[in-house]
Amino acid sequence: MNRRHCAAAAIALVCALTVLASPGTALAAPGAPSAPGAPGVPQAPGAPLVPGPPAPSDSSSPTGKKSLEEIRVELETLYHQAVSATDAYNLAKEDAERQSAEIVKLAQETVKAQTRIDDLKNRAGAAARAQYRGGGLPPEAQLMLTSDPQLFLDGAGRIQQGQKATRDLLRELNTTQAELASYSEDASGQWKKLEANRLKQAKAKKEISTKIAAAERIESRLEKEEKARLLVLERQAADKAQTSWLSSGVMKDIGGTATGQGEKAVAFATAQIGKPYEWGAEGPGSYDCSGLTSQAWGASGRGIPRTSQEQWRRLPRIDVKDMRPGDLIIYHADASHVGMYIGDGAIVHAPRPGRTVTIAGAGSMKILGVVRPDK
């Protein structure tokens, strides 16, 4: 080796040692290939400096700060909060509609009561005018002044009848006025409740929009491959929960058969598979979770509460081991999600925004309990 070649080799060795000694330099494991341009790895002589490749999609977000699993959990939390707010919105809407109907009914009763009062006042006025025309005495009192005994007795009877009619009229007038006051008070109370529920609706709607928008922003930053990987992680998490549920041996006791109404409800719900989730929707083009179950049972001829929380509160509860197709499984501690059991350890449900009505494992989410609409 001549002197020029020795000098070049020495310079290259010094440069390599300098780079390896720099703070933050990562040393590759023995035998591991070094990617050109990776941080801390010397470039080939004369090669341009280029940034290293991004980390694998399944271990970091586009910003490199969160793993896809962390993103999955964050999205699950946001969408769960949106679904919970949807249940609050639906309940407030249902209450507001009921109160509006009650206000209309009270208004109709108020009109009837006012008309009755006007009629009673007219009758009382007619009696007063008649008394005035008789010199302050009603015709019956004047008859009492006659010397004819029969006319006297007739007059006495009419006086008693007239007094009773007057008492009845005054009693009815007082009763009707009290009813009118009660209707007005009830209407005022219903208006206050209506306004309170409208505020609840507006608050829930804002929360729904906020949570969904936050989730959509996160998803919009994901690459196509990352979104595909995210779906895989979602399925894996659901499968893991379902496997754990099945391994408990719960299915060995579940074998009930659906009633006629239950079969109709299941048929309706499964016919909606593929339709999009939309908060507050009750079909026919889209559904939220309780919109699907309430419409399915409505189609079978049995009305049930609109929201999952009310379904949990008001419908008869049964043990999981006694489930049969058509029963409703309520999920999460706040009863914010519901699916319909269809047999073989599966449910049909509307999962969340961005997803469609689908079949899933009955144990893929945390079960709160089971209710039976046709018990």
Give the DSSP letter string of 124-148: HHHHHHHHHHTTTS-HHHHHTT-S-
More confident residue, 23 or 62: 62
pTM over 0.85: no
User: Does residue 277 lie within any of the structural domains?
Assistant: yes
Check residue 341 and give its pLDDT.
98
User: Does residue 36 lie within any of the structural domains?
Assistant: no
User: Does residue 73 lie within any of the structural domains?
Assistant: yes
Domain boundary among 164, 185, 219: 219
The single residue of 5, 15, 289, 332 carrying the catalytic annotation is: 289
Position 319 pLDDT exceeds 70: yes
Residues 282 and 151 occupy one common structural domain: no
Q: Which residue in the block uniquely carries the two structure tokens 């889209």? A: 286
The single residue of 6, 80, 332, 337 carrying the catalytic annotation is: 337
Domain boundary among 219, 234, 262: 219
289 is catalytic: yes
Per the DSSP assignment, residues forming a β-bridge with 328 are: 340, 371
The single residue of 5, 6, 80, 349 carrying the catalytic annotation is: 349
More confident residue, 236 or 162: 236
Residues 211 and 114 occupy one common structural domain: yes
Residues 151 and 284 occupy one common structural domain: no
Position 183 pLDDT exceeds 80: no
User: Does residue 44 lie within any of the structural domains?
Assistant: no
Pull the structure tokens for residue 116: 């009755």
For residue 251, give its domain range: 225-371
Calpha distance 350→292 (Å, rounded): 7
Residues 229 and 364 occupy one common structural domain: yes
**Closest to 337 in 3D by CA, of 160, 159, 28, 82:** 82
Q: What is the pLDDT of residues 1-21, one digit of tens each?
A: 444 444 444 334 333 333 333
Q: What is the pLDDT of residues 107-152, one digit of tens each?
A: 888 888 788 778 777 776 776 666 556 555 555 555 555 555 555 5
User: Does residue 207 lie within any of the structural domains?
Assistant: yes
The pairing of strands 367-371 and 328-331 is: antiparallel
Domain boundary among 157, 185, 219: 219
Residues 112 and 210 occupy one common structural domain: yes
Q: What is the mean pLDDT of residues 188-207?
A: 86
Pull the structure tokens for residue 167: 């008492």
Check residue 240 and give its pLDDT.
95
Please tell me the total count of domains within the chain. 2
349 is catalytic: yes
User: Does residue 77 lie within any of the structural domains?
Assistant: yes
Cβ-proximal residues to 245 (8 Å cutoff; 6+ apart), any chain? 345, 361, 362, 363, 364, 367
Query: Range with the lowest mean pLDDT among 104-108, 286-290, 369-373?
Result: 104-108
Position 24 pLDDT exceeds 50: no
Check residue 134 and give its pLDDT.
54
Q: Which residue in the block uniquely carries the two structure tokens 């999981």? A: 320
Rounded to 10 degrees, what is the CA torsion of 96, 101, 107, 111? 180
Residues 157 and 84 occupy one common structural domain: yes
Check residue 152 and give its pLDDT.
52
Residues 157 and 293 occupy one common structural domain: no
Distances in Å between the alpha carbon of 304 and those of 21, 156, 232, 240, 299? 72, 63, 35, 32, 11
Count of C-beta atoms within a 10 Å radius of residue 355? 14
Check residue 141 and give its pLDDT.
55
Q: Are 336 and 278 in contact (CB under 8 A)?
A: no
CATH number of the domain enclosing 276: 3.90.1720.10
Per the DSSP assignment, residues forming a β-bridge with 359 are: 348
Check residue 26 and give its pLDDT.
36
Residues 258 and 136 occupy one common structural domain: no
Check residue 146 and give its pLDDT.
56
Containing H/E element for 255? none
Residues 213 and 72 occupy one common structural domain: yes
Q: Which residue in the block uniquely carries the two structure tokens 């489930």? A: 323
Containing H/E element for 318? strand 317-318
Residues 203 and 229 occupy one common structural domain: no
Check residue 55 and give its pLDDT.
39
Residues 229 and 365 occupy one common structural domain: yes
User: Does residue 348 lie within any of the structural domains?
Assistant: yes
Position 191 pLDDT exceeds 90: no
Containing H/E element for 279? none
